Amino acid sequence: MADDKKRKNENRKMRLRKNSNPHKIMRQLVAGGGILLISLASPVAGAAMIKNLLRGYFYKRSFEKERFLRDLKNLQRRELIDFKELDGGRVQIVITRAGRQKMLSYDIDDIHLKKTGKWDKKWRLIIFDIPVNQKQARDAFGRKLRSMNFYPLQKSVYVAPYPCEDEIEFLAMIFDVRRHILILHVSDFEGEEKLKNHFGL
């Protein structure tokens, strides 16, 4: 029993080679909200996201179904996804919590605030009230906001002057805390001069 548990933990820790086909499957799962439905009978007829995912499984215009299913089984064995074959040659793929955390380790370091050429004079207030039973996610979310140079107004209130909605949505999805987060746009507030100096505006 202990050996099985150790083996499962080792499988989860194995890194996916960036830009490999399994890595692309995981990235598209994250982008697709954690679940994808793919028709193996007509893989070229899917949405752009599905076409991008399956592009690496074509050889001389022929779809290599068995190789694709083999990669899915390997990801499932590592507990990064769950998948099942449905009627009509379709496959449903769902990312697991472990899979989200795996992709977090790849993508979270690449997320930064992007400074715009001219400030639109709007502040982005990020307010979150993540419950105690998600303490790990709450602490990690706060650490990432600080590393992105958000200014902490309070313990769970951060502010930045640049567009950050996409980045916050992505982080919230990865940490599974979107319902606990508010993104507000504020034109001005008391004490903003201090923040203008902080951000060099």
Q: Which two tokens stand for residue 11?
A: 């499988």
**pLDDT tens-digit profile of 162-175?**
888 888 887 887 77
Residue 176 in this model has a pLDDT that exceeds 60? yes
Where exactly are the structural domains of the chain? 2-106, 111-199
More confident site: 176 or 86: 86
- What is the pLDDT at residue 105? 64
Residues above pLDDT 70, as percent of the chain: 88
Q: Give pLDDT, residue 14.
A: 59
Average pLDDT over residues 185-192: 86
Per-residue pLDDT, 93: 92
More confident residue, 105 or 150: 150
Q: What is the CATH number of domain 111-199?
A: 3.30.70.240
Give the β-pairing of 90-95 and 35-39. Answer: antiparallel
* Res. 133: pLDDT tops 60: yes
| Residue pLDDT, tens place only, 2-19 | 455 544 444 445 567 777
Q: How many CB atoms lie within 10 A of CB 64?
A: 15
Buried b or exposed e, range 168-196, using 16+ CB within 10 angstroms: bebbbebbebeebbeeeeeeeeeebeebe
Q: How far is CA 143 from CA 61, 136, 137, 156, in A?
A: 46, 11, 10, 11
Query: Domain 2-106 carries which CATH code?
Result: 1.10.10
Q: Which residue has the higher pLDDT, 19 or 39?
A: 39
Q: What is the mean pLDDT of the chain?
A: 83
pLDDT at 77 exceeding the cut of 80: yes
pTM (predicted TM-score): 0.53
